[in-house]
Amino acid sequence: MEDRSSLLIVDDERGPTESLRMIFKPEYNVFTAAGGEQALEILHSCPIDVVTLDLRMPGMPGTEVMEHIKRFDPDIEVIVVTGYASLDSAIRGLRHRVFDYVTKPFDVPQISELVRRAVAHRRATQRARRIREDFLANLSHELRTPLSAIIGYNSILTEELHTRLNEDQRVAFDRIQANSQKLLNLIETVLLLNSLDAGELQFCASTFDVRETLRRAARHFAAAARQRGLTLAVEGDANPLWVGCDEHKLERILWALIDNAVKFTPRGSIALSAHSTPDAQGLEIIVRDTGIGIPEAELSQLAEGLPREALASTGRQQGLGLGLRMSMRLTEFLGGTLRVRSASGTGTQFIINLPMHVADRPGREHHDA
């Protein structure tokens, strides 16, 4: 049964539903739903490959069900089975990549062939994604190893030769370090997004001093900030703030936000701060810069990465928004939110809110409930 493809039939009319169920039951795992709410419950509890969907139903309309399906898994193929057709429904179907349309009363050989092709298309899409994910993971690992060595040896040379370097040589070493870190950050971002897309990311909880995590992140970007003439500092109370969370993933979020701040701050400063919420059940981290800012029209595009036209028109020539997209998705993975306060020319604040327990002392682990 597990190897068979799964079909979800969504229709409030019993006759067409039963007809389709009898047609496909011998070859597929068939689920039926009489309305949108029931369909979404099934979608979240069972793996579904193809959905046949009636657009005109009481309660939640079929077009809204279609939007929910595509948000949940854009690769699920949807075949619209309807007794009416309109330009509006056709346009909305194209917008959400509907596989095809069938009108009632449907032709059995036609709909059988459509479902077969839809299943084959979904399987091919899944195979292509796995190949791409494997390729990206392998390539990223292969690139990360030599880059880590370059960064490590460059740090050793900088420290050992510090008193003998002239200003130009120090600038050269800083440039090597900053650009190597930039490449490593990009590779790490691709790996994390790959793991998030594949659903393979694990939550690893520990108790740590988040202010030391901020200081470590600041040291990580010290060379890049110096190269651009920026000050990069951790503000606020220097006392330890012990929290329970996944430190590595929180650090990756910080890296992405600091990297963004360094790229788009031509002069001035970058400041990091962290404090617990008044109820001591959460954490707020702020990454603030004095950079070029983000126009209001572009703030909603951050989760998907800024398009090239926007980058060119705003001076954001470096980067494609991968780091910001990763930081937003990773914050959601940790159960938190990432807010942005910015306007063109006024700098930017990224505010991370995470629902975690603030600990009195280290050594205690926290796990998902």
Distance CA 105, CA 250 (A): 55
CATH number at residue 83: 3.40.50.2300
Q: Give the pLDDT confidence score for residue 290 in this predicted structure.
A: 94
Q: Does some domain include residue 19? A: yes
Distance CA 353, CA 278 (A): 13
Q: Express each pLDDT in 338-363 by its tens digit.
A: 998 887 788 899 999 998 766 666 55
Residue span of the structural domain in which 353 resides: 203-369
Helix (H) or strand (E) holding 296: helix 296-299
* 138 and 207 co-located in one domain: no
Q: Give the pLDDT confidence score for residue 321 in this predicted structure.
A: 65
Domain termination residue (choose one: 55, 73, 106): 106
Helix (H) or strand (E) holding 30: strand 29-33
The model's pTM: 0.59
Distance CA 265, CA 262 (A): 6
* 60 and 158 co-located in one domain: no
* 15 and 139 co-located in one domain: no
* 174 and 217 co-located in one domain: no
Distance CA 146, CA 184 (A): 10
Q: Give the pLDDT confidence score for residue 366 in this predicted structure.
A: 44
CATH number at residue 227: 3.30.565.10
Q: Give the pLDDT confidence score for residue 285 in this predicted structure.
A: 95
Contacts of 298 (CB under 8 A, 6+ apart): 306, 310, 314
Q: Express each pLDDT in 98-107 by its tens digit.
A: 888 787 777 8
* Beta bridge mates, 351: 286, 339
Distance CA 249, CA 115 (A): 41
Q: Give the pLDDT confidence score for residue 311 in this predicted structure.
A: 41
Q: Give the pLDDT confidence score for residue 12 in this predicted structure.
A: 86
Q: Give the pLDDT confidence score for residue 187 in this predicted structure.
A: 80
Q: Give the pLDDT confidence score for residue 299 in this predicted structure.
A: 65
φ, ψ at 157 (rounded to 5°)? -65, -40
- 42's tokens: 């099934």
Distance CA 29, CA 285 (A): 47
Distance CA 128, CA 120 (A): 12
Q: Does some domain include residue 123? A: no
* 99 and 157 co-located in one domain: no
Q: What stretches in the chain show pLDDT beneath 50? A: 1, 87, 303-320, 364-369
Q: Give the pLDDT confidence score for residue 305 in this predicted structure.
A: 45
Domain termination residue (choose one: 201, 232, 253): 201
Amino acid symbol at 49? D
Nearest one of 231, 241, 238 to 271, comparing CA atoms: 231
How distant is the alpha carbon of residue 214 from its chain centre?
Answer: 22
DSSP assignment of 186-245: HHHHHHHHHHHHHT------EEEEHHHHHHHHHHHTHHHHHHTT-EEEE-S--S--EEEE
Q: Give the pLDDT confidence score for residue 58 in this predicted structure.
A: 79
Contacts of 104 (CB under 8 A, 6+ apart): 16, 81, 82, 83
β-strands 242-245, 206-209 pairing: antiparallel
Distance CA 117, CA 108 (A): 14
CB hemisphere CA count around 112 (13 angstroms): 11
